[in-house]
Amino acid sequence: MDHEPVTGLALRRLVTAVGGELGAVRLVEGSGSDRSNPVITDVTHDSHQVRPGSLFACVVGSTADGHDHASTAVEAGAAALLVQRELAGPAERAVPQIVVSDTRRAMGRFAAAVWGDPSHALTVIGVTGTAGKTTVTHLLASILRASGRPTSILGTLSGGRTTPESTDLHRILARERDRGTSSVVMEVSSHALTLHRVEGVRFAAALFTNLGSDHLDFHGGLDSYFEAKRSLFDPDRIGFGVVNRDDPHGRRLLDEARAEGAPPMVGYGLADATEPTLGPTGSDFSWRGRRIELPLPGGFNVSNAVAAATMAAELGVGLDDIVEGLATVGPVRGRVERVEPVDVGGEHPADIEVIVDYAHKPEALAAVLDMAREVTEGGVVVVIGCGGDRDRGKRPVMAAIAEASADRVVLTSDNPRSEDPLAILAEMRSGLMGRGNVVTIPDRAEAIRTAILSAEPSDLVIIAGKGHETTQTTGDRVIEFDDRVHAAGALAERIGGRAS
Supply the pLDDT for residue 498: 39
Q: What are phi and psi of 73, to 5 degrees?
A: -65, -40
Interaxial angle between packed helices 103-114 and 11-22, expressed in degrees from 0 to 180 and rounded to the nearest 10: 130
> Domain of 29: which CATH number?
3.40.1390.10
Q: What is the pLDDT of residues 241-264, one digit of tens each?
A: 999 999 999 999 999 887 777 899
**Average pLDDT of the segment spanning 99-104:** 96
Residue 4 lies in a domain: no
Q: What are phi and psi of 70, to 5 degrees?
A: -65, -40
- Number of domains observed in the structure of the chain: 3
> Is residue 489 domain-shared with residue 423, that is, in the same domain?
yes
Supply the pLDDT for residue 325: 98
Domain finish residue from 327, 348, 370:
327
Q: Angle at CA 66, nearest 5°, toward 60 and 70?
A: 145
Confidence of residue 345 (pLDDT cuts 50, 70, 90): low
> Is residue 179 domain-shared with residue 268, that is, in the same domain?
yes
> Is residue 406 domain-shared with residue 486, that is, in the same domain?
yes
> Is residue 291 domain-shared with residue 146, that is, in the same domain?
yes
> Is residue 423 domain-shared with residue 463, that is, in the same domain?
yes
Residue 100 lies in a domain: yes
Query: Edge-to-edge, what's the strand order for the sheet holding 380-384?
Result: 337-338, 353-357, 460-464, 380-384, 408-411, 438-440
**Average pLDDT of the segment spanning 313-342:** 95
> Domain of 448: which CATH number?
3.90.190.20
| CA 411 to each of CA 187, 301, 303, 360, 385: distance values in angstroms, whole numbers, following the listed order | 30, 26, 29, 13, 6
318-329 in b/e form (b: 16+ CB < 10 A) is: eeebbbbbbbeb
Predicted confidence (pLDDT) at residue 215 exceeds the cutoff of 80: no
Which residue, among 170, 169, 178, 159, has the nearest Cα to 117 in the 3D structure? 170
Residue type, 136: V
> Is residue 58 domain-shared with residue 44, that is, in the same domain?
yes
- Asked whether 492 and 341 are in contact (CB, 8 A), the reply is yes
> Is residue 107 domain-shared with residue 151, that is, in the same domain?
no
**Average pLDDT of the segment spanning 394-414:** 97
Supply the pLDDT for residue 3: 45
> Is residue 352 domain-shared with residue 456, that is, in the same domain?
yes
> Is residue 424 domain-shared with residue 473, that is, in the same domain?
yes
Confidence of residue 34 (pLDDT cuts 50, 70, 90): low
34: containing domain: 9-114
31-47 in b/e form (b: 16+ CB < 10 A) is: eeeebebbbbbbbbbbb
For the chain, what is the radius of gyration of the CA atoms?
25
Q: How far apart are CA 393 and CA 441, in angstroms?
A: 21
Residue 176 lies in a domain: yes
Residue 268 lies in a domain: yes
Domain finish residue from 287, 309, 327:
327
> Is residue 185 domain-shared with residue 311, that is, in the same domain?
yes
- Asked whether 276 and 310 are in contact (CB, 8 A), the reply is no
Residue 96 CB contacts under 8 Å (≥ 6 apart), including other chains: 11, 27, 28, 29, 30, 35, 36, 37, 38, 79, 80, 81
Across the chain, mean pLDDT equals 92
Supply the pLDDT for residue 158: 83
> Domain of 243: which CATH number?
3.40.1190.10
Residue 3 lies in a domain: no
Which residue, among 220, 219, 217, has the nearest Cα to 388 in the 3D structure? 217
**Average pLDDT of the segment spanning 368-378:** 93
Residue 14 lies in a domain: yes
Supply the pLDDT for residue 406: 98
Supply the pLDDT for residue 97: 97
Residue 332 lies in a domain: no
Residue 329 CB contacts under 8 Å (≥ 6 apart), including other chains: 138, 139, 142, 294, 295, 296
**Average pLDDT of the segment spanning 399-409:** 98
Element (H, E) at 411: strand 408-411
> Is residue 37 domain-shared with residue 150, that is, in the same domain?
no
Q: What is the pLDDT of residues 134-144, one digit of tens each?
A: 999 999 999 99
> Is residue 447 domain-shared with residue 390, that is, in the same domain?
yes
Q: How far apart are CA 88 and CA 95, in angstroms?
A: 11
The conformational region for residue 42 under phi > 0 = left, psi -120 to 50 = alpha, else beta, is: beta
Supply the pLDDT for residue 128: 96
| Residue 108: burial class (beta carbons within 10 Å; 0-12, 13-18, 19+) | buried
What are the percentages of helix, strand and coil residues in the chain, rounded to 5? Answer: 40, 20, 40
Residue 1 lies in a domain: no
